[in-house]
Structure 1
Amino acid sequence: MNNMNYIRVGEKFKFKCTRCTLCCGTGPNVSITVFDVIRMSKYLDVNPIQFLKIFTNVIIADLIPVIALKGDIAGRCEFLGFDSNGKTFCKIYKYRPLKCRLYPVKLISPKSNHVYLDTDCPGLYAEDAEFIDFPVDIYKRNTYEVEWQYKKLYEKIFNEGKEPLNALLELIEELYEEAKNKNPSWLEI
């Protein structure tokens, strides 16, 4: 990772989004969690399995399913919009994936006390960039959700012997039922 700087989790850094589309317009490369799937599908009023089919690619990597947002024909995020002045915006901003909320912060490891800053992001060098607080709550939540997802998938695939895609679909169905019946705190951000 050549264009990355390290900072400590919790350390302030200078940043102001320039709406340049580097993060949203050069994909598709955003992996999302099953929690993101449920939140976005709820916002779009689409069944989560339909959401998976319409808006994502599921890649099976060494028996572990990874969910990635699809791109449009130009390779941009499906949810990247342009207003009448050509300015970019996120069509699902309030329910965008946690990974998107963290950018330009990129995780190293759930156990690391450091993260990367993507130095290709012009928002780190914007003239009017100010020091901002590190998004600790979002970082912790994302770390928890990623760890939880992969632990559950590991159990279903390696301990219970389920086929990877079926394990993923089952996990999404379980979370969807929880979201419908219990209105868990993770559903809202």
Structure 2
Amino acid sequence: MLETLRERLLSVQQDFASGLKTLSDKSKEAKVKSKPRTVPYLPRYSAGLELLSRYEDTWAALHRRAKECANAGELVDSEVVMLSAHWEKKKTSLIELQEQLQQLPGLIADLESMTANLAHLEASFEEVENHLLHLEDLCGQCELERYKHTQSQHLENYKKSKRKELETFKGFRKTTDVTSSICFL
């Protein structure tokens, strides 16, 4: 809408300027034609001269007003150009906003998908944590079994060493009993 208004103003301004140029050219031609006339003829055509003078004054006033209108048109044109640029920026911003708003449902779907993935990951982490706790319990049981086994081996070794000592002691005692019986004899 602003572009068509601007185009119309430019075409009116050009038409007006060309019309003024045509009028000023005709006015100059009229002045050139009237200059060759000599002074003796002036009294005869004084009514035409007066009419021509008024006509020239009117055209000069029209020319001044046309220049003023052209200046005002240029001001309006510059304002229209500034407004057009301003609204183009607003339009660009609005288009960008619209594009971002169109991407919003996709973003929401992605967020929902991520939320579901996070919930799934949370469940997986809890499951892994439970398995780790179970593994820790199993490791503790294995260590306890190892410790029991080690302790039972120590006990078994201790028992063996004590049996050997006992057998040695019994063997020593038999030999001492035999020697003491021999000594009594």
- Output the TM-score relative to the length of structure 2: 0.23
* Larger relative helix fraction: 2
Q: When you count strand as a share of all residues, which structure comes out higher?
A: 1
Indicate the structure whose relative CO is greater, using CA pairs within 8 Å and at least 6 residues apart. Answer: 1
With structure 1 as the length reference, what TM-score do the two structures score? 0.23
